[in-house]
Amino acid sequence: MDWTTIGTVVGSAALLLGCLLTLVAAIGLLRLSDVLARMHTTAKPQVLGVVLSLVAVGIALQRTTDIATLVAIAAFQLLTVPVAAHMVGRAAYRTGQVDASVLDHDDLAEKLAEEERSAG
Amino acid sequence: MNPVVIALCVGMLTVAALLALLRVAKGPTMLDRVIALDVIVAIVVIGLCVEAAANRHATTLPVIVVLALVGFVGSVSVARYASKESAAERGRR
């Protein structure tokens, strides 16, 4: 086994895994019941799936400038996807689209009630 | 890159995109659609990565940067808009 073969195998595996994660995310998006559950199933493959396919591109290209761009994209994705998911989850909670009956414990409701008591 | 791997990747991405489109069509709320559209943007990014890895070129990398940026701005602004709309509705009730 030389390095080219190993690179091809690792790159192919990363691409396949990234695509598989995206497929799992789409299935979860369709099957799960509620905004928060859907958000959770899509946010994680959005990070790991994209990062894995970027790794595959980096292995295929093997040029320093391209790899720098890919690292920048991966870092940006790692920063923005959790922020976007958090914003969507916050909007879902504030607009009352979260089903309280599926929650085990609602810390935020207690906190908000406490703040309302101290304000009023 | 092995053509079988590329075909498998394209197939999985196609199915995933169709399922996400179904969620966009069904809704039921605006936030569900935003999440599904985020997934579609991620699918397009991964598709561009598959194409770049298969043909060994770097011409689509700027497109990937722009897509990652636009997807973030879009979902955050829709989330802000949704919460503002609900505050107005709460005021009316």
Q: What is the pLDDT of residues A42-71, one digit of tens each?
A: 887 788 888 888 888 888 888 888 888 889
**Beta carbons of B74 and B58 less than 8 angstroms apart:** no
**Beta carbons of B79 and B34 less than 8 angstroms apart:** yes
Q: What is the pTM of this model?
A: 0.84
Query: What band does B83 get if pLDDT is binned at 50, 70 and 90?
Result: low
What type of residue is A53? Answer: S
Residue A83 distance to chain B (closest CA, Å)? 8
Query: For residue B93, what pLDDT is reported?
Result: 36
Spatial CB neighbours of A47, under 8 Å, sequence gap ≥ 6: A77, A78, A81, A82
Residue B85 and residue B93: Cα distance in Å, rounded? 13
Report whether pLDDT(B53) > 60: yes
Query: For residue B15, what pLDDT is reported?
Result: 92
Query: What band does B84 get if pLDDT is binned at 50, 70 and 90?
Result: low
Neighbouring CB atoms inside 10 A of A19's CB total 29
Range of the domain at B79: 3-92
Query: For residue B92, what pLDDT is reported?
Result: 43
What average pLDDT does this structure show over A87-94?
82
What residues of chain B, 43 to 82, have a C-beta less than 8 Å from chain A? Answer: 43, 45-46, 49-50, 52-54, 56-58, 61, 64-65, 68-69, 71-72, 75-76, 79-80, 82
Range of the domain at A48: 3-119
Write the pLDDT tens digit of every residue in B20-32.
898 888 877 778 8
Q: Residue A25 is part of a domain; what is its CATH number?
A: 1.10.287
**Beta carbons of B37 and B56 less than 8 angstroms apart:** no
The tally of domains found in chain B comes to 1
What average pLDDT does this structure show over A89-115?
77
Instruction: Provide the CB-side half-sphere exposure for A79 (13 A, CA).
Output: 9
DSSP code at position A104: S
A103 φ, ψ to 5°? -85, 140
Query: For residue B2, what pLDDT is reported?
Result: 80
In chain A, % of residues over pLDDT 90: 0
Write the pLDDT tens digit of every residue in B9-20.
899 999 999 998
Report whether pLDDT(A72) > 70: yes
Query: For residue B89, what pLDDT is reported?
Result: 47
Cα angle: B58, vertex A25, A84; to 5 degrees: 75
Query: For residue B14, what pLDDT is reported?
Result: 92
- Partners of A25 on chain B (C-beta within 8 Å) are 16, 39, 42
